[in-house]
Structure 1
Amino acid sequence: MIKHSFRGSRVVNSAASVLATAVTLALTSTAAQAQNTIEEIIVTAQKQMETLQDVPIAVTAFSERDLNNLVAQDIADVGEFAPNVDLSRNSTNQPSYTIRGIGTRDFGVGADPAVGVYIDGVYIGRAGASKVAFNDIQRVEILNGPQGTLFGRNAAAGAVQYITNKPIAEEQGWVKATLGNYDKRKLEGVYNIPLADNLYLRTGALWNERDGDVDNVGPAGPDTFNGEDNWSITSSLAWYPKDELEIIARFEYDELDTGARAQNSATVGPRDGKRSDFDKVASDDDTYQTRELFGASVHISWEFEEYVLTSITAYREFESAYREERDGSADPLYKFSDENFEDNASWNQELRINTTTDGPLNFTVGVNYSYEDAEQTSSIFFSPTSFEKALWETVLGSPYAGNEGVGYDLAFSIPYILAPGPNDLSGYAQFDRIYASGAEALMADEFKESFKVRGKYKSYAAFADATYAATEDLDVTLGVRWTRDEKDFSRFSQFNDFGIGFGFPVQSILDASGNLSREAGTNAIDPFNGTLGWYDQSEAWEEVTPRAVVDYRITEDILTYLSYSEGYKAGGFNSVNMEADSFDPENVKNLELGFKTSWLDYSLRVNGAIFLYEYENLQKLEEKTGACTANGVTTYEFDTFDVEGEGFELSAIWIPVSGLTLSFNTGNLDAEYTRRIIEKDISGSCTDIDEKGESFSETPDLNYSLGINYAYFMDSGAELNFNAAYNYKDSVSRESCKFVEENTDGSVSVYGFDTIDGVFQQINGGAGQPDFVASSCPDQPERQLLNLKVTYMDGSGDWEVATYVLNATDEHGDVMDPGGLGGSLSSSITDGSPTYTRDNPRLYGVEFKYNF
């Protein structure tokens, strides 16, 4: 069977011994049974199998047992316990990944992620396909900082790796059932069987359901929100036609139907008085969140005398859809929801050669090609009355009360916004309105407007990374990667049956050359013979990202390193703005000083890193409101800024006595903008604000985790295992916010505040609302998470039973700004922002596992 060698001369083992090595780490890790030393940790952070203590990168890894102890169902459940990492927990189709404060929060396909996600070396380019159920996972690795050389594409902030279990030459398996509160039901299992002397099959399956924890008392939608409903199956076939050759084919299918997230208004509707900590909502729309995913890959490793040739060929596709209520109430006057469909297919091919010698020089060289075909349709829905109200209060800036039907009559007096004249509609592939008057429009079932985008992306890369052992204790590593991204992007916007452009106000009228006929900022069409169609744009970018590392082993147990690395993320396109130009690529330079140490006869491990980074053209999705938009409707556009940051990460694991493992990790981040000018609506006027020097962070400045694991071994050989994992994230200061005040007459007033040029001031208060006194915005509150689990493992090893409590303190996560109705349609007249979702409540249950 093929052997894989560890890099350098420090450790050399066969693949069988690697698989047998217990992978532990830095959080809730379990020590070897009845031992006082920490076992080796094996990672592939440098595209080769190495011990964690030899890798000059800040890495957090979670073994299969760690994942079980945390009762982790997907990557969000472990991201909470990695330093300077924040992974969204509330969305499956649109998750966000943030490392060291850097991430991409974009629901569109026009931008790439800042954190690269990989499953068995296969790059997952779209967030909608990255958050999958943990089904037969061997370990998870989170790499902090830019990984621009070995991982390359869109790993500017860091990388997340899933490593699954390989088929082995032994018939074995297990099945596990879970029952919990909110009618939790989960069944999962794995079966491994040798089909021949050199052919092995391994299959894992998972089914999971749980009722939601937020009740719906409205007229439409599900009975509860925030539930779970998913199933998946994975299968791997390993073939060893000769000892030096390994071929593994992997397949996965994942399907979910979890339902949309709950939305709640702070000013109208059922609530328990804590606004964000709600357990009831009133919905008036049928919402959903679904995804169907398929992936297939072939991994080939061919070992020669001093080299290993690796090929990874992968195909992945998914379809996802969600519809989410945005107004937070069942009041028909405010009905508003949005919908998103995504259809994505990608293909990846990587070839690389790794050395396997014990000599002073070891290297990795390779090439990579990827292709993505992405389509997306975004839609918004209103009731006829809620749409007309939005026209009045966000576009005209006047109260809607008493003007029912007048808004449509006014809008219908203009045949088409983009028409060259009031009666000249010739030459346009447009359709007639089906409503003749405002009164008739008010009788319609629904107002719907859609915007479509599609992208075809190609990426090419060549990379090399070499380590030279200058002395027995000093290694020097140099790496470089060349990347070229080519992107074709198209947009299509068509007015609806009402013939009114609102959320997506620019219809895609094209001239003979395929360019937009509408000139920016005007209603004129030039030339006048435009046609309705797709607006196409194409861009290409190239970048070279180097890496240089010097690591020195002071003693056998103390490794120090100094690393310089650069990262790159391709430019892109704004998914919801027809006239927006492409935006520039994102570049980062990172300097890191770190250490890996072992003490007290390998019973104590302490690792840490200090880092500095500079980002140029950091891509950030910015909210545009009020006077800074075309018609007063909230929109989102990408801007680029420059940022500088510094911080540290520290992790420790200690076995003070046999069976007891204590772990700790912490991170800190201090970052600020060095270039940022944004537009803000200040009392009805769009104003450019220079925020150079202002604080930047997508994550709290301080975060830490504590873990305790105690294994008690009985005379019978049975084990009783206690595990506790605690995470704390500091509060986040804010410079802008909203306040809600309940008036004596029962009405509610909403007040907006912002910090302008260092001065905290009220920027709006609504028509007729008195001033509200506030000296600062309340901090985004601190977050805590405590998970507990007790497991009994029978001495025979055949079965085990466990009980767990997740979020034992019943923390509900971030408290958004209190606000009123309307969401993105909020106006200063009657509305504020809605209060959004909460984290999962306290969850508890029991597990039973049988091994065979």
Structure 2
Amino acid sequence: MRNRKIAVALSTSLMAAAISSATHAEDNTWAIEEIVVTAQKRAQSSQDVPIALSAFSNDMLKQVGATDFKGLTKMTPGFSVAGGSDAFPRSYIRGIGSNDTGVGVDPSVGVYIDGIYASRNGGALTDLMDVARVEILKGPQGTLFGRNSIGGAISIVTEKPSEELTGEVSVEVGSYNNRVAKGLINIPLIEDTLYMRASGNIQKRDGWQENLLGGADGYDRDRANGRLKFTWLPSDSVEVNFSNSWSRYDETSGYLDNLSFALPFPLNSKTSDINDKKVVSGGLNLFGNTALDVAPLEPRLERSLRDHSVTVDWDITDNLSLASLSSYRTYSTFSSTDYDGTEYYLLNNEGSTEFNETISQEFRLNGSSDNLDWFVGLSATHERNVLDFKLGFADFGPLSADVGNAPINGGLNFSEITHVDTSTDSYAIYGDATWHVTDRLNITFGARYSEDEKDIKWEAPTTQANGASGFSGAGFTLPSLFQFVDANGIPDPSQAQRSDKWSDFSPRIVVDYALAEDAMIYASISKGYKSGGFNSTPNPSLSNFLRVTPEATESVDPEEVINYEVGIKSTWLDSRLLVNASVFALNYDELQVRQINGAVVQLANAGEASNKGLELEVRYQLTQDLTVLANATWMDAEYDEYSVNGEDLSGTPLLFSPDFAGSIALDHSYHIDGYGELRSYISYAYKDDHLYQEGFEQESYGLVDARVSLLTEGEEWEIAVFANNLTDEAYINSYIGQVSSLGVVGVYRNTPKTIGASVSYKF
């Protein structure tokens, strides 16, 4: 369509109609909702896309209670997000993910906001504010989306400015003194030419986790987000969108509980009880020397994010268009945590500050004809990461040799620092073409060629101080510059700098066939790729005279996966019943895994892994007022070749990959004459036993969420009450293994039951 002004004027209303339509005008029956997605870089019904995906409209996000993409794991089996602190979330899809969040490596699940890659999950995990929809695509998505989406992609699409003067304000209160205020306004500044949309929210909440040794309560909230967007229509065929967003977090994150403690010292029983909301996290000296006690470390999360982008869409002809996506993104994060989760001072992240700057440019040419839809794209990305890290840990030798062991550092605690600087340049050319062979048969070919170059520099201090000076400034955990040695063991500061580059060609082929008007089967083979990386903080080897050998700083190989998939997408019973299913098998090579070998933390390629599974999605409009939604996945994900510390772990399940996970929800609406629509939504999500680290398993659990709302006749006012984790289920959602060589394992638990109420007004 050439007339861009008409397109913008109608886009909001057409999308709303596509998403919320529940009736057929022709026969006055009801049908399930349809969601329009852009997974293949063109607007399509999700039922016409031959990819396994879960799509959530803005309305569904509200019912589910998802404030960020972590909240969608309950309704997307096969998708998990680990991490007790939002500074370092780790996403897994179909067992593919990364347990290393350092600056030397990349995530395995890509996050895209309005089509632009958010390079690191710590900067991508923001509140879902004024969002049109979220698409979670499973399997490699490098051809359609971009770099480092080997496991899948999370596509967040925000609302665009439109020609209507509209707005919304809402307030929310809830458990632990939770207070949220949100607002948005859409203003047509110049008729048919310039529109503006502004949105923002503020949240404050008291912490729900008490540290019995004192300090701030864990998991409080202090967040603010804002976004300002402009749409400019300089001509009938050109649309320019400007977007500026910012986000600020300043809060206490979570304290750890302790799952395992093998040291011969007494331990408070509360440290291992994840069923309550209390912890015993402190800095007591192991040997009772009160002079070496330190105050409990307060876990912190402070983040400031800025995101600026310009997208230009030009309809060159009726069948040819050009898009340009330009972005500049920065964020800075500070975090701290006590790694062991006990009352003792063992190992602390005293402060980790990460700065990220990303500049990206993409050009995409789309075309269509009677029997071909295609696009070809070029992209370039420059990313810089800077990490300052301070680690504190105890001297495990007592003050007096009479106690049994001589002190290592005179009984004094250690304090070590490092500075890491990385730079990544990535270039790619990619394309995708769908050939409509017949009215029913389509064949899609896609491919991506990528080049990645990564530099890393460990700017270690000349000598470590504050406790390590007794060892001539050598670091036990974070090295000094003179500890880097060459292949002959001779100190060589130039070894503290590395560079490597990788290239890859990743194709995909998809065949889909329409069995009937509302039923399609498809089969696909796709390759995924994630660039190589470096260990962010190489450790000195205690068995090699505290040296950092060249092997410790070498790059790891890229990850590769081949994904085979057969699926069906179908609707039945006059579009009242939706049944989608997919069977997949993937072979995964060179997994980049963060390993703990004794006292050394390193990044390594794990070898080979595989996963075979079945995914099922069902939606049934049981009556005009009641919808049943169900999702399930069965997986058999394991390492085929993997060893750590000489132990063969072949056959061990992949992390965060339960054999079964599923959810079911009931969505009921009831019209009350003179008042409006009373809507009730209740869901149950179940996850089977799964590993969060080799040797440590989380037992199965189920979560119940519910929401009841009243929408007035004119749809201006909505009043809602809701509850998350209604049964107050307690489980572990992340594992910290930094002290596991001593038999000490810290874990984060989940958020307990919360309830709340909200009021919103639209105009």
Does TM, scored on the shorter chain, surpass 0.5? yes
Q: How does 1:326-725 map to 2 (within 5 A)?
A: 326-331=339-344, 334=346, 336-357=348-369, 359-382=370-393, 387-389=394-396, 392=397, 402=403, 406-408=407-409, 438=410, 442=412, 447-494=414-461, 495-497=463-465, 498-499=468-469, 500=471, 501-504=474-477, 506-509=479-482, 516-519=484-487, 524-525=490-491, 535-577=496-538, 579-625=552-598, 633=599, 635-679=601-645, 688-716=646-674, 718-725=676-683
Matching of residue 174 in structure 1 with residue 168 in structure 2: yes
Q: Which residue of 720, 728, 738 maps to 1:802?
A: 720
Q: Cα deviations across residues 58-81 of structure 1 (Å, max 9, x unaligned)? A: 010111011111221111011221
Counterpart Cα distance in 1 of 2:187 and 2:169: 15
Q: 1:552 to 1:183 in 2, by over 3 A?
A: same
**Match in the other structure for 2:291:** none
2:730 to 785, 788, 812: 812
Report SS of the residue matched to 1:824. coil
Which of 297, 302, 325 is equivalent to 2:309? Answer: 297
Structure 1, residues 808-851: CA drift from partner, whole Å, max 9, x if none?
A: 0101222889xxxx9734665xxx32442210000001100011
Matched, 1:196 2:190: yes
Relative distance call for 1:783 and 1:309 in structure 2 (3 A) is same
Could you list the per-position Cα deviations for residues 464-510 of structure 1 after superposition, in whole angstroms to 9, with x for gaps in the alignment?
A: 11111111110111111111001111112233223243443543239
In the alignment, is the contact (CA less than 8 A) between 1:225 and 1:259 conserved in 2? yes
> Share of identical aligned residues, percent?
31
Q: Which residue number in structure 1 is paired with residue 253 of structure 2?
A: 260
Partners of 1:816 and 1:21 lie apart in 2 by: 40
Query: What pairs up with 1:19-58 in 2 under 5 angstroms?
Result: 19-23=15-19, 36-58=30-52
2:66 alignment partner AA: A
Change (3 A) 1:139 1:826: closer
Higher relative contact order (CA 8 A, sep 6+): 1
How far apart in 2 are the matches of 1:825 and 1:97? 23
Q: Which residue of 1 aligns with 2:544?
A: none
Post-superposition CA distance 1:442-479 (Å, at most 9, x none): 4xxx6320122111101101111111111111011111
Displacement of 1:553? 0.3
DSSP-derived class of the 1:111 partner: coil
- The CA deviation at 1:172 is 0.7
2:691 and 2:168 mapped to 1: Cα distance?
A: 47
Contact 1:36/1:656, CA 8 A, preserved across alignment: no
CA contact (8 A) 1:35 1:659 kept: no
Contact 1:491-1:534 within 8 A present in 2 as well? no
- 1:88 positional shift: 2.7
For residues 673 and 158 of structure 1, the distance between their equivalents in structure 2, rounded to whole angstroms, comes to 19
Tell me: CA distance 1:505–1:68, structure 2 relative to 1, closer, same or farther (3 Å): closer
- Tell me the number of residue pairs that the alignment of Structure 1 and Structure 2 aligns: 719
> What's the TM-score once normalised by structure 2's chain length?
0.89
> Could you tell me how far 1:274 is from its partner in structure 2?
6.5
On the 8 A contact 2:312/2:325 being kept in 1, the answer is yes
Is 1:151 matched up with 2:137? no
RMSD over aligned Cα atoms = 2.7
Supply the distance in 2 between the matched residues of 1:635 and 1:324 (Cα, whole angstroms): 17
Query: Structure 2: how far apart are the matches of 1:97 and 1:76?
Result: 9
Unaligned ranges ≥5, structure 1? 6-12, 409-437, 511-515, 626-632, 680-687, 739-778
Residue deviations 1:654-702, cap 9 Å, x none?
Answer: 11211111110101111222222321xxxxxxxx123334433432110
Match of 2:75, SS state, is coil
Describe the shift of the 1:401–1:19 C-alpha distance in structure 2 as closer, same or farther (beyond 3 A): farther
Out of 754, 757, 762, which is 1:846 matched to?
Answer: 757
Equivalent of residue 337 in structure 2, options 297, 306, 324 = 324
Partner of 1:424: none
Is 1:312 the counterpart of 2:325 in the alignment? yes
Pair 1:272–1:697, CA change in 2 (3 A): closer
TM-score for both structures, normalised by structure 1: 0.80
Residues 732, 172 of structure 1: CA spacing in aligned structure 2 closer, same or farther, 3 A cutoff? same
Contact 1:490 1:534 in 2 (8 A): no
Structure 2: segments with no counterpart, 5+ residues: 283-295, 539-547
Superposition pairs of residues 238-249 of structure 1, within 5 angstroms:
238-249=231-242
Pair 1:216-2:211 in alignment: yes
Amino acid at match of 1:557: D
Letter in 2 for 1:466: A
Cα shift at 1:155: 0.8
In the alignment, the residues of structure 1 paired with residue 224 and residue 200 of structure 2 have an alpha-carbon distance, to the nearest angstrom, of 8
Which of 270, 275, 300 lines up with 1:277 in the alignment?
A: 275
CA distance in 1, matches of 2:740, 2:174: 39
State the distance in 2 between where 1:638 and 1:36 align.
Answer: 54
Cα distance per residue 1:378-429 (max 9 Å; x no partner): 22113xxxx221xx49xxxx99872687433xxxxxxxxxxxxxxxxxxxxx
Residue in structure 1 matching 2:116, options 103, 114, 122: 122
Give distance in 2, aligned partners of 1:61 and 1:601. Answer: 21
After TM superposition, the structure 1 stretch with the greater mean CA deviation from structure 2, 660-669 or 321-330, is 321-330
- 496-505 vs 337-346, greater mean Cα deviation: 496-505
The answer as to whether partners of 2:732 and 2:747 remain within 8 angstroms in 1 is: no
